[in-house]
Chain A
Amino acid sequence: EVQLVESGGGLVQPGRSMKLSCAASGFTFNNYDMAWVCQAPKKGLEWVATISYDGSSTYYRDSVKGRFTISRDNAKSTLYLQMDSLRSEDTATYYCARHRGVGCFDYWGQGVMVTVSS
C-alpha cells in the first residue's frame, strides 16, 4: 500500500524558515517524480514544486522560487521542502504527492499545516 506521511509543520514567524518532510512507503520511491501541493485555508489547490525521480531536476511556481527548495533522499525514501523567508501568504496545508508520469498526482499524503504568523 502506497503511503505518504508528512511532518514538520506548525506555527512560524514571518521571515523564518521551516522544513517539511514526507516519508514514503509501499512503492519504489526512486522510480517516481514527487511534488508538493498546497491549499490555503478555505481555498483551492496550488502546485508548489516538483522534483525528478533522481533529484537532478526541480521545478517551482514563481511565488516560491528562490525561497523554497524541494529535495529528496532516495536512500531514506523521503521528500523534503525547505521553506525560507516565509510570508503570511504561505500559510496553508502542504500535501506531498506522487507524480504518475507527467503531471498528475496519483497518491497524496494527509497534509501538514503551516501557519506563518507573528
Chain B
Amino acid sequence: DVVLTQTPVSLSVTLGDQASISCRSSQSLEYSDGYTYLEWYLQKPGQSPQLLIYGVSNRFSGVPDRFIGSGSGTDFTLKISRVEPEDLGVYYCFQATHDPLTFGSGTKLEIK
C-alpha cells in the first residue's frame, strides 16, 4: 500500500501567520494518464472531513485562496497563508493513484 507521511504531526500557529504541511508518498503519485491524484482535506473539530484541494493544486469550490497546494511525484505541500481561527483542525493528504486509496495520518493545526 502507498504510505503517505505527513509532517509535522502537529502545528501551532499565530493568527495571521503562514502554516506549511508536508506530505511525502512512498511511491510516485503520477498516474499513467499524467494526472496526479493527490488531495487535501480538513476535518474541523466534531465535523466531517471537507475537501480543500484536488489534483495537487486545484482549490475546491468555496475554498479561500489562502490555501495553496503544490508538489509533484512523491513530495507535496499544503500552505495556508494568513491563518484564521476557522482553519483549526486536522489536515489529511490523500492519494487515489494507487489501489488501495490511502490517507496520510494527519496534521493537527492549533492556533496559538
Residues of A participating in the B interface, judged by any CB pair closer than 8 Å: 37, 44-47, 50, 59, 61-62, 95, 100, 102-106, 108-111
Interface residue tally on B, bucketed by range: 20 to 34
Q: Give the chain B neighbours of A44 by CB distance below 8 A.
A: 92, 103-106
- Which of A95, A103, A109 is close to B37, meaning CB atoms less than 8 Å apart? A103
Tell whether B100 is near chain A: CB-to-CB under 8 Å: yes
A107 to chain B, nearest CB (A): 8
| Nearest neighbor of A100 in chain B, beta-carbon distance | B54
- Which of A50, A106, A111 is close to B60, meaning CB atoms less than 8 Å apart? A106
B44 to chain A, nearest CB (A): 12
How many angstroms between the C-alpha atoms of A64 and B102 in the bound complex? 15
- Which of A46, A50, A95, A100 is close to B48, meaning CB atoms less than 8 Å apart? A95
| Nearest neighbor of A103 in chain B, beta-carbon distance | B96
Tell whether B51 is near chain A: CB-to-CB under 8 Å: yes
How many angstroms between the C-alpha atoms of A111 and B50 in the bound complex? 13
Tell whether B101 is near chain A: CB-to-CB under 8 Å: yes
Q: Give the chain B neighbours of A37 by CB distance below 8 A.
A: 49
B48 and A45 contact, CB distance less than 8 A: no
A100 and B49 contact, CB distance less than 8 A: no
* Known A-B contacts A102-B96, A103-B39, A104-B54; A47 and B48 likewise in contact (beta carbons under 8 Å): no
